[in-house]
């Protein structure tokens, strides 16, 4: 991606970088380095690490100052729902991050530009690059614009209650049975393992999910199962 394209995308998301190389790094997936000769190019994982910490502080601060009558447990739950992979991926899609990610052809061929975990990681990496380049206040402005508008809906509709808990309650109510989760597939190197999980009730598959950990894949499978129940689709058997 050239300087003009980087500048145009940065302007679109509301940031004027002093050092565009930081932004370029934030958009660079590890796999991309295997296909270029530029030894100075870095991938975005360190910026993601930093952005994760900055994001947690910004969201915590907002919740603390906005919902003054809510106990610590609820604030923690609201924060988790706000910064979960799906929420960050949705924000990245709204910004158009997927179209600007630099990744290997192999990663792209498997749908990398629209994978939730890659988009969520990129959101945190972009935030990390903003922090390094412009500081905390600019990070807050970015998060307010692209993420914090979702919190009121999360609080009002208790979207913080995780999908696994919701589906377990549904399964016990409808079928008088507790869901179990099964590994359907594991792939990728240890540092970037991808899991596919199924949620099963009485031998029947209700949903499948993919994630960078079993927990995340289970959560996605439960969310899928809830959607399936609402749509009253047929349920497949599992061996």
Q: What is the pLDDT of residues 48-98, one digit of tens each?
A: 999 999 999 999 999 999 999 999 988 998 998 899 898 999 999 999 999
Catalytic residue flag (residue 69): no
Select, from the ranges 16-25, 35-44, 154-163, 229-238, the one with the highest average predicted confidence (pLDDT). 16-25
Q: Is 187 annotated as a binding residue?
A: no
> What is the DSSP code string of the chain?
--HHHHHHHHHHTT---S-HHHHHHHTB-GGGGGG---TT---SHHHHHHHHHHHHHHHHHHHHHH-TTS-HHHHHHHHHHHHSHHHHHHHHHHHTGGGG-B--HHHHHTTGGG-HHHHHHHHHHHHHHHHHHH-HHHHHHHHHHHTGGGHHHHHHTTTTS-HHHHHHHHHHHHTS---EEEEEEEES-GGG-EEEEEEEETTEEEEEEEESSHHHHHHHHHHHHHHHHHHT---EE--
pLDDT of residue 37: 72
Among 86, 124, 162, 208, the one annotated catalytic: 124
Catalytic residue flag (residue 124): yes
Confidence of residue 155 (pLDDT cuts 50, 70, 90): confident
Q: Is 124 annotated as a binding residue?
A: yes
Among 52, 133, 160, 219, the one annotated catalytic: 52
pTM value is 0.71
Domains of the chain (ranges; CATH) run 3-156 (1.10.1520.10), 163-234 (3.30.160.20)
Confidence of residue 234 (pLDDT cuts 50, 70, 90): very low
Residues 19-44: pLDDT tens digits?
999 999 999 999 999 887 776 789 99
Q: Is 18 annotated as a binding residue?
A: no
């Amino acid at each position: 991606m050239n300087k003009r394209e980087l500048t145009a995308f940065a302007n679109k998301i509301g940031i004027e970088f002093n050092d565009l190389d930081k932004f370029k790094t934030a958009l660079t997936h590890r796999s991309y380095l295997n296909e270029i000769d530029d030894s100075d190019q870095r991938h975005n994982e360190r910026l993601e690490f930093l952005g994760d910490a900055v994001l947690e502080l910004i969201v915590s601060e907002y919740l603390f100052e906005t919902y003054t009558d809510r106990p610590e447990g609820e604030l923690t739950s609201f924060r988790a729902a706000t910064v979960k992979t799906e929420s960050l991926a949705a924000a990245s899609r709204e910004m158009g991050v997927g179209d600007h990610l630099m990744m290997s052809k192999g990663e792209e061929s498997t749908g990398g530009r629209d994978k939730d975990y890659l988009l969520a990681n990129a959101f945190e990496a972009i935030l990390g690059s903003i922090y390094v380049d412009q500081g905390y206040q600019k990070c807050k402005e970015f998060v307010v614009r692209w993420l914090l508008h979702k919190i009121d809906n999360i609080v009002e509709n208790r979207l913080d209650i995780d999908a696994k808990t919701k589906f377990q309650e549904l399964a016990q109510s409808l079928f008088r049975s507790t869901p179990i989760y099964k590994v359907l597939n594991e792939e990728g190197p240890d540092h970037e393992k991808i899991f596919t999980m199924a949620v099963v009730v009485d031998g029947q598959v209700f949903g499948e999910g993919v994630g960078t950990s079993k927990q995340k894949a289970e959560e996605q499978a439960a969310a899928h199962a809830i959607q399936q129940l609402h749509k009253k689709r047929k349920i497949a058997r599992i061996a």
